[in-house]
Amino acid sequence: MAKKKTIQGFDRNLASYGDTGFSRYLRRAFLSSAGYDKIDLDRPVIGIVDTSSDYNTCHRQMPEMVQAVKRGILQAGGLPMAFPTISLNEILTSPTTMLYRNLQAMDTEEMIRAQPMDAVVLVGGCDKTLPAQIMAAISADIPAVSVVAGPMLTGSWRGERLGACTDCRRMWARHRSGELSKAEIDEIEQALCSTGGTCMVMGTASTMACVVETLGLMLPGGATPPHASGDRLKNCVASGRQAVAVAGMGLKPSDILTPASFRNALIVLMSLSGSTNAVVHITAMARRAGIKLTSDDYNAAAEKVPVIVDCKPAGKGYMEDLHRAGGVPVLLKELAPFLDLSALTVTGKTLGEMIAPVQPPGEWQTTIRRLSDPLYPGNAIVSLKGSLAPNGAVIKAAAANPELIRHVGKAIVFESPEDAIARLDNPELGITPDHVMVLRNGGPIAAGMPEAGSLPIPRYLSSQGVKDMVRVSDARMSGTAYGTIVLHCCPEAAAGGPIALVRDGDLIELDVENRRIDLLVDAAELTMREKAFRPPPLPARGWARLYAQHVTQADEGCDLDFL
């Protein structure tokens, strides 16, 4: 096979021995020990980032997926070379995968840079794995195709359809309120996650998969096939083939990603009523591409686009429904009036060329609605500012209680996620449904920014039927969660943000319509409190210390400042 200029194969990234000929000769000798002959070595080398891990149940069938990617690469004349990286599972990683997203991004970027490959297929899926891989691919900037694990299929309990993790939370709240017994919640525990794959609601994994497909770094239709399906494996094979093609074209992330492609991604995010975590991840990915996204960019998209995807937590469907309805290509077809269709994709075609033959949403389904018949009129995720969050905060308005999106209440402050766990259910705190529960020291510096922002309703209130309250924090929340919850308050408490100064009984005003979150305490009093503020100590050593010293705030994507 004649080599194109962009193909260097195993001659790329030679180990340094001070003699190029020796490095090449030694590399070929060692590859020979693995059975590679001249025919193999003349092919384009396609790396495959394999995030299989016994600790990552969302990637359970990834070994089979990697085999399918290899098949596609071989069919197209390439040589597949799979290699492992860190793999992060939301549920099995303490204290939070967010603390390790940038570590996975560094691991992936450095292995792409250090090893010989003409293109790379990134196989990820569980929440942080996908943005980490995309951040890495943007910084390494070699031709790249993204593949995701795909969602789990839904389960059921006593005839009720269930999916992780919106229904996990809903059922747990019913158990906390005494509505479901221990025996019943034990049965539900066994029914929530019926297959391998990522959470099957519009949580972070699903949102990011749809966003990455919109950005053009994934094959059309790649975001939604369920993990356990033949469609998923076919996407893997096709992605392997496409990786060889992009290696030949030399089509890199820097050729594909532009301000227009990121604006398209924000349009899709809002139409999905996607995860608030996506705001942090998209901002970080854009920053890696040299593009600065601000709260105005997010609000501009939110204002113009209604929610038209009917998936939990904002709606009622699941990812398998979205897939059956045609997935992201059909969604893009409907959103076309809002999109820049000249944006390039990994297929080598523009978004417009890609969706030209796609049919609009059919009336036979209800998961992708028409723009004329939206699920929610707009402003799915609203970026807020105000005296409590001068650099911004977000709320998923589409999943909030309409009666609470304008609210003034007295603060009840928890010093950390641990403090909230210890005290929240104590009736002596006297929390009422009108209180605003404030959680601080859940930000990136203080705690790695766990998904602790969706504080549970105190048990003594939930047992009286209280289902939602205003909650405010510098932490994140799961994309599968819902409620009137203000997140990502910036700067965080550990960086001296105003959230550090709130005291029990202070009045807090939330006004989503006017995009405000304010602490109603006079300036002189706040200046006095500021003088007494002392930041918490940094972790003593290791990754946690490096992270705390260099992590940026949520409005900059929580990336490390040197990346």
Which residues are at the interface with ligand FES (CB under 6 A)?
A: 58, 89-91, 126-127, 198-199, 203, 205
Looking up tokens 């059919």 gives: 362
Q: For residues 220 and 201, give the distance between their C-alpha atoms in angstroms, rounded to a whole number.
A: 20
Alpha-carbon distances, residue 247 vs 4, 14, 288, 485 (angstroms):
9, 18, 21, 44
Which residues have C-beta within 8 Å of that of residue 535, sequence separation ≥ 6? 494, 495, 496
Of 205 and 218, nearer to ligand FES (C-beta) is 205
| Long-range pairs, 36-41, Cβ under 8 A, ≥24 | 36/79, 40/79, 41/9, 41/10, 41/79
| Shorter beta-carbon distance to ligand FES: residue 127 or 213 | 127
Q: Copy the structure tokens of residue 277.
A: 């975590």
Residue 97 CB, nearest distance to ligand FES (Å)? 9
Q: Which is nearer to ligand FES, 58 or 233 (CB)?
A: 58
Among 454, 462, 460, smallest CA distance to 478 is for 454
CA 199, chain centre distance (Å): 12
The DSSP H or E segment spanning 161 is strand 160-162
CB of 312 to ligand FES, least distance (A): 13
CB 475 → ligand FES: shortest distance, Å?
17
56 or 264: CB nearest ligand FES = 56
**Three-point CA angle 156, 157, 160, nearest 5°:** 70
Nearer Cβ to ligand FES (144/205): 205
Which has the closest alpha carbon to 382: 515, 478, 500, 526? 515
Residue number with CB closer to ligand FES (123 or 469): 123
Residue 199 or 512 with smaller CB distance to ligand FES: 199
Give min distance, CB of 95 to ligand FES, in A. Answer: 15
Work out how close the CB of 92 gets to ligand FES at its nearest, in angstroms, rounded to a whole number: 9
Q: How far is the CB of 49 from ligand FES (least distance, A)?
A: 17
Q: Which is it for the CA torsion 306, 312, 314, 316, positive or negative?
A: positive
Residue with tokens 């009840």: 412
Least Å distance, CB 281 to ligand FES, is: 13
Handedness of CA 390, 393, 395, 401 (dihedral sign): negative
The token duo for 276 is 């608030």
In terms of CB distance, is 97 or 239 closer to ligand FES?
97
CB of 66 to ligand FES, least distance (A): 18
